[in-house]
Structures are given as structure tokens and as C-alpha cells.
Structure 1
Amino acid sequence: MDKKTAQKKVFLEIVQQLRQLIKMEKIQAGEKLPSERVLSERLGVGRSSVREALRSLELLGLIETRHGGGTFLASTHKHQLVEILSMFILEDEKSKKDVELTRQIHEKEAIRVISCTEILRTLPVWDSFFVKLEIEGAVHCRDILRELLITTGNRLSLKIWFQLAAYDGDRLNRSSTEDEKLIIQTMLKSMQLGYEKEALKAYEQWMNTVASI
């Protein structure tokens, strides 16, 4: 089992473990869940793996971490979202593609919203990416995509995106290549100018380049 597959397996096991605990122990929203140490022992995995999986669950709103107080169950109506996503833990190539395309739906919608909203497309963050590209020659791919989602202000879309992006592995968690530099610059500049079609075209070109890596 490769590293990425193992990480996804751990995430699913933790989701299943939490569901069992909720059902068997009748844990109510707002009540405390077992510690990282206990979950680590029950699952037979390292605490760092448990911590990363719990962070993903927190981004989805399934759990809430209170500083110095532990981890608590959030509203139970949010559990269905986690269950739906956990069904796509990339058992085959079709599932991988489904996750990738679903993630891109959120990214493209963010580009549309930003391109059509003057106050969003003129934010200084886009210029900061240009400066980084010119000075350092590269940007972190995930940083740009995440900023697109954050800028729209759609918190639900952002939470879903975080989980979908987690399943795309190293293709997003890296610095952009020289081949990607001009494409990213074109996408950002088109978006800043409000040229929605051109920005989306550049985005599609970028994703095609990412797919080939």
C-alpha cells in the first residue's frame, strides 16, 4: 500500500470509528470525543496520522477543537457530508477523476465570481502572487487555488474544497513549474481585468498541465 492510499485509509477508519462511538456511546452534539492518544491506540496508527485526519474532519465541520479543552462533536446533521465524501476514497481511477472534477467545479465557480465582482478581483492578494512569480519564479499551487475559494466568502464550498484537495496528493502540494508560470499569470491577469472566459480558459490549460505531472 503506497503512502497516499494509506493516508486515505486512515481517514476513512477514523470516520468509521467516530460514527461507531457516536452511535454506541450516544454522544450528543457538544460532547467530548476520545483523545488523539485513545484514537491512535484503537486504530493502531500514529498520533500524527490521527491529528491530520481530525484536522480534515474539523474543516468539514464534523468536529470542533477547543484550545486546551479537547475535541467535541459538532451538529450531527453535518455527518452526512463526511459520509458522502468518504465514499470517494479513491478506490479506482474513476473515483479519482470524479474527485478531481468535483474540486475543479468549485475552483471554476470561484474564478467566475471573482471575475464578475470588482471588489474581489482588485484585491492586493493577486498582485502578491505576481510579485512572487517574478521574484521567486514560482508559487505554491495549492495556495492560489485555496485563495480563490477563500476570496469568494463561500465557507461551505471552502470546506468541501479542502477535503477534495486533500485527495489530490502531491500534484497540488508543490511549487509551480516554469511551464505553469505564464499560464498562471494569464489566469490571474484575466481575472483581475474581469475577463471571465479568458481566465477560465487559462485555468483549464493549467489543470491540463497539472494532470500531466
Structure 2
Amino acid sequence: MDKKQENKKVFLEIVKQLRELIKHEGIQPGEKLPSERVLSERLNVGRSSVREALRSLELLGLIETRHGGGTFLASIHSNQLVEILASFILQENKAVEDVHTTRRMHEKEAIRIICSNQSLRSLPVWESLFMKLEVEHEVVRDHLLRELIIASGNRLALKIWIQLAAYSATPLKKTTTEEEKTMLQILLKSLQLGYEKEALEAYDDWIRYLKKLRGKSSGN
């Protein structure tokens, strides 16, 4: 197991222990959680690891940090959907493919929203990414996808997508070939022109390409 996968495993374990501690101690919505120092000692892990896990739970809306006041369990009525998501994605490897599938659902819906809205299609970020591909022959894949979700204007979808991206088995790095560059340029141009069908087809072609790439890198 490489260092990145090992770190992910440790991180998931800390988050699960935190959730078990909350349940075991009967901490209710609105009540304060133990401090980072106490959690670090009780879970027998470094404070930086505890801090990262707390940040993840806060992003999901499961806890909230009050400046100078500590960390509190969030009100349950405000985060039922992300509570379900958090429970699901912490099932580790058996949920990896479903994590990818759910990511793709959010990304494709973002493409549909952008294509149907003139002001979103005209955002300068699409031309900037297109030119980056043209001139530098590369773009950070996750950056492009994140911009799609941000542009769609759904803040909850963005929260969920960020967590799905964090738990994906393989991080999406930079573009690698001329073939991929062409796919992304078609996607970006179709997006700008509002050609939903073509944009979604280009996206699907790209995802199939990335899956094939992952298969080669894992020796499949």
C-alpha cells in the first residue's frame, strides 16, 4: 500500500472513531465535543490528523466550530442528507465505485445547468481552461470538474462533491495526452455554445478514457 492510500486509511479510521465516540458518549446536537488535544490523546493519533478529520466533518455540516468556543455537534435537522452521505462513504473500498458514480451524476447535472444558462456559458473560466489546454497542453482535471460544480451554483452539491473527490480511490491529476486534450476542448467548446448533448458525450468519452487509464496504472 502506497503512502497516499495508507494516509487515507488512517484518516477514515479516525473519522469513524470520532463518530463512535459521539454515539458512545451520547453527545447531542448543539453540545460541545472534546478538544483536539483530548481527542488526540483518546484516539492515540496526532493532533494534525484529528484536525483534518474534524475539518472534513465540518465541511459535511456534521459539526461546527465556533471561534473561541470549541467544536459542537451540528443540529441534526439541518444535515440529514449529508449525514447519510457521510455514513455511506465511510464504508471504504466497497463503496469506491459508487463514489465515482455519484460524482459523475453531480458533474453531468452541472453540465446540463451550465448549457441551459447563457450567463453561465459565458463565464471566462471556460475560455481560460480552453486556452490553457491549447497553449500549455495540460489542465488539472479536478480543477476543471470543480469549476463545473461551482458554476452550477448549488452549494450543497459542491460540499458533497468535494467529499466525494476526497474519498475517490484515484485522484484526478493533469491531462496526459493529445487524445485527452481534444476530448476536453470539445467538452469546453460545447459547454460555451450550449450544446448539451455534445458536451455530455464529450464528458462520457473522457470518463471512459480515465477509467481505461486507471485500469492500466493498476495493472488490470
Q: How would you bin the TM-score normalised by the shorter chain?
A: 0.7 to 0.9
CA pair 147-44 structure 1, distance change in 2 beyond 3 A: same
How many residues end up aligned between the 2 structures?
209
Q: Deviations over 1:87-137 (max 9, x none)?
A: 343333xx2211111110010000000011111111111112123223332
Distance in 1 between the 2:180 and 2:38 partners? 44
Q: 2:113 corresponds to which residue?
A: 113
TM-score by length of 1: 0.85
Q: Deviations over 1:122-178 (max 9, x none)?
A: 111111212322333211111111111111111111111111111114432x11212
CA pair 12-43 structure 1, distance change in 2 beyond 3 A: same
CA pair 107-186 structure 1, distance change in 2 beyond 3 A: same
CA contact (8 A) 2:103 2:164 kept: yes
Q: Secondary structure at the match of 2:29?
A: coil
Unaligned runs of 5+ in 2: 214-220
CA pair 55-192 structure 1, distance change in 2 beyond 3 A: same
Q: Secondary structure at the match of 1:64?
A: strand
CA pair 155-24 structure 1, distance change in 2 beyond 3 A: same
Q: 2:176 corresponds to which residue?
A: 177
Q: CA deviation at 1:200?
A: 0.5
Percentage of identical aligned residues: 55
Distance in 1 between the 2:7 and 2:83 partners? 18
CA contact (8 A) 1:171 1:210 kept: no
Q: CA deviation at 1:15?
A: 4.1
How do 1:99-110 residues align onto structure 2 when only pairs under 5 Å count? 99-110=99-110
TM-score by length of 2: 0.83
1:86 to 2:87 alignment: yes
Q: Secondary structure at the match of 2:138?
A: coil
CA pair 110-24 structure 1, distance change in 2 beyond 3 A: same
1:189 to 2:198 alignment: no
CA contact (8 A) 2:121 2:191 kept: yes
CA contact (8 A) 1:64 1:73 kept: yes
Distance in 2 between the 1:144 and 1:58 partners? 24
Instruction: Give the AA of the match of 2:83.
Output: V
CA pair 175-67 structure 1, distance change in 2 beyond 3 A: farther
1:20 to 2:16 alignment: no
What value does the CA root-mean-square deviation take over the aligned residues? 2.4
Instruction: Give the AA of the match of 2:174.
Output: S
CA contact (8 A) 1:12 1:86 kept: no
CA contact (8 A) 1:22 1:28 kept: no
1:74 to 2:101 alignment: no
Instruction: Give the AA of the match of 2:62.
Output: L
CA pair 40-181 structure 1, distance change in 2 beyond 3 A: farther
Instruction: Give the AA of the match of 2:32.
Output: K
Q: 1:134 corresponds to which residue?
A: 134
Q: 1:65 corresponds to which residue?
A: 65
Instruction: Give the AA of the match of 2:207.
Output: M
1:97 to 2:97 alignment: yes
